[in-house]
Copies of this chain bind each other. A is one copy, B any other.
Amino acid sequence: MFLGKVIGKIWSTIKNPGLETQRLLLVQPISASGDKTGKVLICTDSTGAGAGETVYWVRGREASFPFSGREVPSDATIVGIVDEVNIGKRKTGGS
């Protein structure tokens, strides 16, 4: 999984039926110390995350696990909200 920050969302009327009722959040990948790393991507969400929150997301086939029983065509899904990042003895707040 990778760390990211929710920075916005996508509005989309025409989409694959498998994505209906899914929120499509824009996520900026970040490092453990909060710096931007890599390209913004669009994630489905299984946590209720909101704008500004630090989250972690899973990619690939596993991104559809949280929606078991449905075939959601997503390759990136937020699976948790970060409370705190611990590196050695340093602590970094989640949001």
Question: 8 Å CB contacts to B: which residues of A77-95?
Answer: 77, 79-88, 94
Contact status A18-B80, CB under 8 Å:
no
Q: Tell which of B12, B56, B71 touches A65, judged by Cβ atoms closer than 8 Å.
A: B71
Counted per complex, copies of this chain come to 5
Contact status A26-B58, CB under 8 Å:
no
Contact status B1-A24, CB under 8 Å:
yes
Given contacts A8-B88, A88-B51, A16 and B74 within 8 Å (CB-CB): no
Q: Which residues of A contact B (CB under 8 A)?
A: 1-3, 7-16, 18-19, 24, 26, 29, 31-32, 37-43, 46-48, 51, 56, 58-66, 68, 71-77, 79-88, 94
